[in-house]
Chain A
Amino acid sequence: DARVTQTPRHKVTEMGQEVTMRCQPILGHNTVFWYRQTMMQGLELLAYFRNRAPLDDSGMPKDRFSAEMPDATLATLKIQPSEPRDSAVYFCASVLSGLNTGELFFGEGSRLTVL
């Protein structure tokens, strides 16, 4: 059963600590998205990659967030240093470019709490 896998599912950390979230996209999917969900802002696009190359990371606070795809099976989102306002659910999603069906395959999300 193909699925997007995200780790960790839950993370509680203290302000100032580094947080790394990982995502394994569905095998064969070449486009990977990172979204952040909060009550106030809904689902915000942070960054996305196609064929491992970053296409848009304008939604990310550049001073503390970074996103990479070390290889086709792994995407990472790092926050350093973390702040309480970063508390949110972070979703990774993947898709095969060009299908244009609208169907993104989402992971279960990583719920981050920064104290």
Chain B
Amino acid sequence: AQKITQTQPGMFVQEKEAVTLDCTYDTSDPSYGLFWYKQPSSGEMIFLIYQGSYDQQNATEGRYSLNFQKARKSANLVISASQLGDSAMYFCAMSWHRDDKIIFGKGTRLHILP
């Protein structure tokens, strides 16, 4: 089955703390990608980070890192030193290189508290 699961509907985190947003996936294909999008209250979709299934090292982009654990089929997003502007909805997504299909999880709404 092709599935993306985000188990945290909402999270509250104190400013400057690190945040981990959970994401698990299910696929039998060997070639795929995992990535995260941020959706602020304005509604736009902002691409954050991408990890290919064959990449040996975890992806990092500034304060974002993707904790890829292939055996556990998890792709958690870690935001270091959270900021008020990080308050948004975050979507985990998966793509299959075989046919370019891309599906999203239900999202986690992150609230950063001052």
- Give the interface of A toward B (CB within 8 A): 31, 33, 35, 41-45, 48, 50, 55-56, 89, 91, 93, 95, 97-98, 100-104, 106, 108-109
**A106 and B44 within 8 A (CB):** yes
Q: Mark B71-114, 1 if CB is under 8 A from A, else 0.
A: 00000000000000000000101010101111111110000000
Q: A100-B97, A102-B93, A102-B95 are in contact. Are A42 and B47 (CB under 8 A)?
A: no
Q: A43-B91, A100-B95, A108-B43 are in contact. Are A50 and B100 (CB under 8 A)?
A: yes
**A97 and B100 within 8 A (CB):** yes
Q: A91-B45, A100-B95, A108-B43 are in contact. Are A55 and B100 (CB under 8 A)?
A: yes
Judged by a CB distance under 8 angstroms, whether B40 is at the interface is: no
A42–B109 Cα distance when bound, in Å, is 11
Contacts of B47 in A (CB 8 A): 102-104
Contacts of B52 in A (CB 8 A): 100
Judged by a CB distance under 8 angstroms, whether B35 is at the interface is: yes
Contacts of A44 in B (CB 8 A): 104
- Give the interface of B toward A (CB within 8 A): 6, 33-35, 37, 43-45, 47, 49-52, 91, 93, 95, 97, 99-107
9 interchain residue pairs of minimum CB distance: A102-B50, A42-B106, A102-B35, A43-B104, A106-B45, A103-B47, A42-B107, A31-B100, A102-B33
Query: For residue A59, which residue of chain B has the nearest CB?
Result: B103
Q: DSSP class of A's interface residues: helix, strand, loop or mixed?
A: strand
Query: For residue B109, which residue of chain A has the nearest CB?
Result: A39
Contacts of A89 in B (CB 8 A): 43
State the Cβ distance, B99 to closest chain A Cβ, in Å.
Answer: 6
State the Cβ distance, A42 to closest chain B Cβ, in Å.
Answer: 3
Contacts of A100 in B (CB 8 A): 33, 52, 95, 97
State the Cβ distance, B57 to closest chain A Cβ, in Å.
Answer: 16
A73–B102 Cα distance when bound, in Å, is 21
**A108 and B44 within 8 A (CB):** yes
Contacts of B102 in A (CB 8 A): 33, 45, 48, 95, 104
